[in-house]
Structure 1
Amino acid sequence: MTDQTSTTRVAHLDGGMPLLLTRTADRRTVGLALSLGLGSRDDPAGLDGAVHLLGRLVMSVPLQGGPSLGERVQRLGGTSNAVTGPESLTLHARVPGDDAPAAAGWMLDALTQPALSNEALDRERRLGARESAAGPVDRADALQPAFLHTVLPGHPLGRAASAAPGIAGRDALEPLSQMHQRVLATVPMALACVGNVPEAELRNRMSPLAMARAGGVRPCRSSQAPVSRPAPPDPAPPDPVWPDVPCWLLAGAPAPAATDPRRDAFALLGHLLGHPPSAGPASLTYRRLRNGSGPAHAFRAWTRTYSDAGVWCLLAAADGADGGALARTLRGELTRLARRGPARNDLAAAVRQARTQLLRTAADAMKCATVTASRYCVTGAVWNPYAEAARLARVTAADVATAAAAVADGLVVAVRTDEGARDAWAPPEP
């Protein structure tokens, strides 16, 4: 992975919306992603879950008097979904190459001209409430609100996000529609296409009205105002009272923002201590946490970066009686890394793991499109996996030691009781 040149070309649709084109060797399928620089942290007061609900509606309401976007893509033999993150709402799809122009046009129509109705709103609210009651698929989602509230006090990312909107009844449609119209006028948008689709064919399948509503080069969040650093957390609270039953632990600390060059050391710290999809023997904590007498059944570590903040996390499953030992083991490993830094071969292995993860993402057309579109909306920069790999290779052991010291100093712990913590698991990559 030595090519330092981005393979993504930036064009603009009529009206100005960025069109991010990445050519690949695969001529059979194409990855598409249409992203808004608006996420759960932007839910208006009293409208918790509004952005998530908007994404559900965009996928499911009738499109120009016919089937919904989700149904149309599936009829092509493709897959599609909407993903709501803290700072972006992204529609993504993978379709046969010949159908990509039509699918891209439908995505833009759905996002800019959804047929919002009280009936559709009530349906999606009910479905969302049922899914929320069933519990999150990812255990980290259950712990993250309390965790972020403690790690990033007073920051919008520390506000508990909800997939079940706090708006109800027919009074909900008007404020949701108003939010949608405001978004179209003020929030950055970007369409990414990963595959071999001629630009002219993409443009020809997009309606002038949709392009006009999505048009205009609007500033990204990171350039709208000076980057604000969250207030430092209060002195680390004592470890929680550990239950007598299996539990999940989420431990972590503040980390650099998406455009901060120090973020790469925190990312490698995650690989050193057990990066997803599953922590293996190369992880420094593997033998300590997952041997026959170790305190953890399963664990993973990662870093999430946002426009003006970031977090480093480790999620682990353990018996409640072992929770204290698990937390002490993590703190001990962080302290050791802060004092000595990682050994050369351990750091090299972490760099290779990170590079392989970048290669997997870049090789998956839909994942690549999703990352490209959402990052462009958040940071205003084109995602370049080759340049990112080169940056990671330049991280030193001293850089990682500094990151480990910062995590150790700001470490907080959240715990959730769950009988499912006994189960073997392979969590999705964050």
Structure 2
Amino acid sequence: MSLLLPTTPTAWLPPLRHALPSPGQGGAGGSVAAAEGRGIAREVLDNGIVALAREIPDPDLIAVSIGVRAGSRFEDDPTAGAAKFMEKLFLQGTERRPSADAVQRPIAVRGGALGTQTGSELVIFAAQARTADVDVLFDVLADVVLHSTFLQDRVENEARVILEELNARRANPNVLAGDIFLPAVLQGHPLARSAAGDLENTPRLSREALCAYRDRLFVGRNTVIAVVGNLPTAEAFDRVSSAFDGMPSGQPAPPSVTSPPPARPQRIDHQAGSAAARIILGGPLPGLRSEDRFPLTVGSAVLGPSGFRLFREIRDLRGLSYDPSPAQVLFPDVGLWMAAAGTDPSNVDLVIELLRAQFTRLREEPIDEAELTDARNFLEGSLVISLETPSAQSGQIIRDEAFGSPVLSDEYREGIRRVTVRDVQRTAQTYLDPDQATLVVVRP
């Protein structure tokens, strides 16, 4: 459910599976073993950059993803909104390529793509091109990451763009509901800061403040680079080292090791839109490092894409909503569960009752073995399909390394396969209490 992840891409990016621990967080040894177990080679450069490579001869292309721990959770009040500027400004020009067009053109004219994205944990750079164009690919990426100029006129222009985007989010009830829900659940937590930017502070952020944010966080010890495609591993490492050895090592960002905030029953009603209402019900969870993520993920699949419980009860049987769906957002240390639905304003109370009833059912009644099998098969199958391209794999590899919780591994599949009916009910009873949930309703 993308409305809860305010990480709008500029240009192109591989799909995100998780909102994004720091390089080596959770144990460097575990990261090394996990990488080797996935057929991924791993090296740490002298400046602290973690480089990972996976050789795939077919198709004949190269995908590179770079993750820097510089997302919105590392902002403070004076720098609120700075992470969103990073997504914009790195593509606005370098000394050698003084415009956005000059940055994009060398890769675009060769049929490739270059994009950036800001999340709560990471700022991501992603690029892909034919293997024959690997020189251009690394040259542009290194120039963008190491030599972007952040000129004053670009800062002013992108501030206007960000404000327009934020106002557009406020005008979209579906997105607005998510933007209200996230900080309501995570009040006082660093992850409550929106990766989409800050409406009040964006006009106040100076070029000097943005450059200071960049220089503090965009350093080797905060950076993971993954290369996937038709390139020998040794050459991939040589190219990463040659291109990025000029990045200062710096100091790592603070570790992402907080605890989830307590659940708080609350209802927030907000008037917006002209036709439909948007409902979100949910609360906090433990993050990706918790073993409970596996049964919680299975339970979410039973409610949604494999078991269709919400869809069947709310849409198929009653026709009350086009898109009732559950979702989880999992950060390294904290997560969120939720269910969302759009409906006619006259049906809001009934849809809320039906959403609550399905979570109560999951807590009180064990799922059956067929539902468990379907959920496991769905989760394994959808993972394989979503990661079939080099670009998707490179994006997931940097998240696996940064989070210390590999999805591209036997460990992940075994975690899903270990889930029992009792595990699903236990975690639902522990975390998914609709009576202790945050409820957001946005309607005309």
TM-score by length of 1: 0.84
Q: CA deviation at 1:315?
A: 1.9
Report the 3-state secondary structure (helix = DSSP H, G, I; strand = E; otherwise coil) of the residue aligned with 2:206.
helix
| C-alpha contact (below 8 Å) 1:34/1:107 kept by paired residues | no
Pick from 204, 218, 230 the counterpart of residue 184 of structure 1: 218
Q: Shift in Å at residue 174 of structure 1?
A: 0.5
* Structure 1 portions without partners, runs of 5+: 419-430
Q: Give the match for residue 23 of structure 1.
A: 55
Aligned twin of 1:428: none
Contact 1:34 1:190 in 2 (8 A): yes
- Structure 2 residue aligned with 1:147, among 172, 178, 181? 181
- Residue of structure 2 aligned with 1:48, choices 55, 69, 80: 80
Pick from 259, 263, 275 the counterpart of residue 293 of structure 2.
263
Partner of 2:230: 196
Q: What is the Cα deviation at residue 172 of structure 1?
A: 0.7
Structure 2 residue ranges without an equivalent (≥5): 1-35
Shift of 1:12: 3.0
CA contact (8 A) 1:105 1:202 kept: no
Residue 134 of structure 1: CA displacement? Answer: 2.7
2:9 paired residue number: none
Asked if 1:358 corresponds to 2:388, the answer is: no
1:425 maps to what in 2?
Answer: none
1:57-93 C-alpha deviation (Å, 9 max, x unpaired): 1122235245544333212211221111111110112
**Matched residue type, 1:400:** V
Counterpart CA distance in 1 for 2:335 and 2:87 is 24
CA 1:265–1:207: 2 relative to 1, 3 Å = closer
Alignment of 1:30-45 (within 5 A): 30-45=62-77
Q: Does 1:298 align with 2:328?
A: no
Residues 102, 205 of structure 1: 8 Å contact kept: no
* Native 8 Å contact 2:376 2:417 kept in 1: yes
Deviation at 1:387, TM superposition (A): 2.6
CA contact (8 A) 1:37 1:187 kept: no
Q: Secondary structure at 1:325's aligned position in 2?
A: helix
Any conservation in 2 of the 1:147–1:412 contact (CA below 8 Å)? yes
Does 2:326 align with 1:326? no
For structure 1, which segment, 262-271 or 69-78, has the greater mean C-alpha deviation from structure 2 after superposition? Answer: 69-78
Q: Give the superposition deviation at 1:6.
A: 0.9
Aligned equivalents of 1:6 and 1:205: distance in 2?
22
User: Equivalent pairs: percent with the same residue?
Assistant: 20
Of 184-193 and 261-270, the range deviating more from structure 2:
184-193
SS at match of 2:261: coil
Change (3 A) 1:5 1:161: closer
Q: Quick check: 2:300–2:328 contact (8 Å CA) kept in 1?
A: yes
Which residue pairs with 2:5 in the alignment?
A: none
Structure 2 contact 47–221 (Cα < 8 Å) conserved = no
Match of 2:440 in 1: 414
Q: Offset at 1:363?
A: 0.9
- What's the TM-score once normalised by structure 2's chain length? 0.82
Shift of 1:215: 4.2
Q: Deviation digits for residues 358-408 of structure 1, max 9, x if unmatched?
A: 10232122122112213422x245542443122111111111112222212
Instruction: Return closer, same or farther for 1:139/1:397 CA change in 2, 3 Å cut-off.
Output: farther
Q: Give the corresponding residue for 1:248.
A: 278
Are 1:172 and 2:201 counterparts?
Answer: no
Question: 1:289: how far off?
Answer: 0.9
Inter-partner Cα distance in structure 2 for 1:94 and 1:189 = 19
Distance in structure 1 (CA, Å) of the matches to 2:170 and 2:91: 20
Whole-angstrom CA distance in 1 between matches of 2:389 and 2:172: 22
Q: CA RMSD in A?
A: 2.9
Partner AA of 1:397 in structure 2 = V
Alpha-carbon distance between aligned partners in 2 of 1:273 and 1:131, rounded to the nearest angstrom: 32
Match of 2:132 among 98, 110, 115: 98
**Structure 1: distance between partners of 2:379 and 2:194:** 30
- How far apart, in 1, do the equivalents of 2:387 and 2:48 lie? 26
Which residue of 294, 309, 332 corresponds with 1:284? 309
User: How big is the shift at 1:318?
Assistant: 0.9
User: Structure 1 155/108 Cα, relative in aligned 2: closer, same or farther at 3 Å?
Assistant: same
Per-residue CA shift, 1:112-131, capped at 9, x if unaligned?
A: 22112101111222222223
In structure 2, which of residues 303, 309, 319 is the aligned counterpart of residue 273 of structure 1? 303
Aligned counterparts of 2:241 and 2:267: Cα–Cα separation in 1: 57
Would the alpha carbon gap of residues 396 and 100 (structure 1) be closer, same or farther in structure 2, given more than 3 Å must change? farther
Deviations 1:150-208 (A, max 9, x none): 22232112234543562437x71111111111113485101111212124444555585
Letter in 1 for 2:413: A
**CA distance, structure 1, for counterparts of residue 330 and residue 154 of structure 2:** 34
